[in-house]
Structure 1
Amino acid sequence: MATKNELEKSKVRKETTAKFFFDMAKLTFAALVLGVAASLLNREIEDEIPSMANYLFAMGFIGTVAFAMIGYRILK
């Protein structure tokens, strides 16, 4: 049976790993979603939205949700 020290180490390891994935979610959101949104706000209204901007926005949103879900499942 696991000792109290081993259980505490396991708990800390899970919390640290979950925190890492939550931080990755925040970074992905800031870099891709907010970055693309800021670049879209700085363009002319008549200009066409580049397909790469749509792709990066979607991938940023999907990546943010995926990293947050991984972190949540680790803590669960």
Structure 2
Amino acid sequence: DNVPNFEAMINAVVANALPNLTAALKTQITNDIRNGAEPISKAPYRMAPVELKELKEQLQEMLENGFIRPSVLP
């Protein structure tokens, strides 16, 4: 009969944790934006035509060898 009552132990732990948990859930997160702030503008990465051709050839070879496969996402 020395079996611990796990349900009572869990209920005690949850009862002690819930006040702190509900206080944490009430915390609001804000993101203040300054007046006149704009997104950072950055030029897109451009690849030289020779590099792009080499990349496409490597990708095609990996596809044919089964190392990679096309995406099937909708």
Instruction: Judge same fold: TM > 0.5, yes or no.
Output: no
More RCO (CA 8 Å, sep 6+)? 1
Q: Identify, as 1 or 2, the structure richer in helix.
A: 1
Larger Rg: 2
- After TM superposition, the score normalised by the length of structure 2 is 0.29
